[in-house]
């Protein structure tokens, strides 16, 4: 896989994009934004969310980091080399790959369409921000 090399990766951009996805998630699912709706839609309580094991943040961080690396490599290979282009590309990938995945799974799991919109919207915004950050560096 000659196209997937470390020389294509802007490590500072990847780190900042990873952090940005946490910031977007914090704002998106905050108790003053969509957090209470999300808690209700997934059938949890605030206490369950507050006391959940911290390992979920480690797993999320690893996935966000790998996602930022792949986004960086794809953007370089496809010559998406601007902030706006990166935001659009990240949003497009999230819409197709991540939100689309939720449409399929939530549909068959008979989960509320609103949950799909909340989670899919988060993924689209988070990857748009990550793409914009990476686009500023490549």
Instruction: Name the residue with tokens 């960086």.
Output: 72
Residue 4 — very low, low, confident or very high, per pLDDT cuts 50/70/90? low
pLDDT in tens, 92-110: 999 999 999 999 999 999 9
Comparing 6 with 74, the larger pLDDT belongs to 74
Question: Which residues are within 8 A (CB) of 95 and not within 5 positions of it... i.e. 6 or more apart?
Answer: 120, 124
**Rounded to an integer, what distance in angstroms lies between the CA atom of residue 93 and that of residue 82?**
16
The answer to whether 61 touches 25, Cβ cutoff 8 Å, is no
Q: What is the mean pLDDT of residues 84-89?
A: 98
Q: Is the pLDDT of residue 36 over 60?
A: yes
Instruction: Please state the pTM of the whole predicted model.
Output: 0.93
**Rounded to an integer, what distance in angstroms lies between the CA atom of residue 56 and that of residue 119?**
16
Q: What is the pLDDT of residue 6?
A: 73
Q: What is the pLDDT of residue 7?
A: 75
Residue 73 — very low, low, confident or very high, per pLDDT cuts 50/70/90? very high
The answer to whether 37 touches 46, Cβ cutoff 8 Å, is no
């Amino acid at each position: 896989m000659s196209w997937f090399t470390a020389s294509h990766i802007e490590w500072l951009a990847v780190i900042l994009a990873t952090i940005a996805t946490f910031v977007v998630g914090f704002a998106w699912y905050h108790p003053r934004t969509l957090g209470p709706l999300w808690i209700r839609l997934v059938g949890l309580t605030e206490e369950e969310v507050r006391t959940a094991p911290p390992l979920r943040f480690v797993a999320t961080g690893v996935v966000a980091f790998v996602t930022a690396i792949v986004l960086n490599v794809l953007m370089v290979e496809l010559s998406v080399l601007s902030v706006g282009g990166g935001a659009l590309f990240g949003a497009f990938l999230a819409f197709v790959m991540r939100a689309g995945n939720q449409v399929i799974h939530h549909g068959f799991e008979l989960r509320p369409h609103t949950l799909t919109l909340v989670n899919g919207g988060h993924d689209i915004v988070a990857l748009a921000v990550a793409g914009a950050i990476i686009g500023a560096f490549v």
